Amino acid sequence: MRRIVIYSIINDIYNKFSKSVDSGLKVGLVIDEAWTVLKSEKVDYPIIADLVKRGRGHGISVFLATQNIEDLGDIRDVYLDNAGLLVAMNNGDKNFWENTVRRLVNVSHEEISNKLAFLGRGEALIRFIGDPRPVIVKLFSMIDSRSS
């Protein structure tokens, strides 16, 4: 039942905002633990994949968050190839960096072996659309947990 509600909301967002051509960002849809929704996507009409591919032209941004690339399913290339912003954090799997990230970001084997495979907690590699040169950043909380 929960998935039906989620898909209904996503479908309503798409129908409402796809009536006009992009005039800037109108809505951002964040799907945390995206695998919970994507695992039930139908191959003949994957609504999330369609929204990722065509939504930007209508001012809809989709943010998918997941632990592993494999969580994106059989059509993961649709999501990866249409990502305007890619944020990759270390998951301890060197194959992830070599086979997935290298396809999307301009990094060398040496950078993977010497730096990326050792990113610490809160560190991430970021790539913006149209620029394959990545940036390494340190993420932080704006809320100081010590003061609460």
Q: Decide the pairing of beta strands 123-128 and 85-89.
A: antiparallel
Is residue 68 domain-shared with residue 1, that is, in the same domain? yes
Is residue 50 domain-shared with residue 73, that is, in the same domain? yes
Is residue 49 domain-shared with residue 97, that is, in the same domain? no
Instruction: Give the domain extent around 38.
Output: 1-83
Q: What is the CATH number of the domain that holds 63?
A: 3.40.50.300
pLDDT digits (tens, 9 = 90+) for 82-98: 888 899 998 888 888 99
Is residue 68 domain-shared with residue 118, that is, in the same domain? no
Q: Among 51, 83, 115, identify where a domain stops.
A: 83
Is residue 113 domain-shared with residue 73, that is, in the same domain? no
- Which residues neighbour 59 within 8 Å (Cβ) at sequence distance 6 or greater? 17, 20, 22, 23, 24, 25, 26, 27
Please tell me the pTM assigned to this model: 0.72
Is residue 73 domain-shared with residue 32, that is, in the same domain? yes
pLDDT digits (tens, 9 = 90+) for 106-140: 899 999 988 998 999 889 999 998 887 899 999 87
Q: DSSP secondary structure string, the chain?
A: -HHHHHHHHHHHHHHHHTTS--SS--EEEEETTTHHHHTT--SS--HHHHHHHHGGGGTEEEEE--S-GGGG-TTHHHHHHT-SEEEEE--S-HHIIIIIIHHHS---HHHHHHTGGG--TTEEEEEETTEEEEEEEE---SS-GGG-
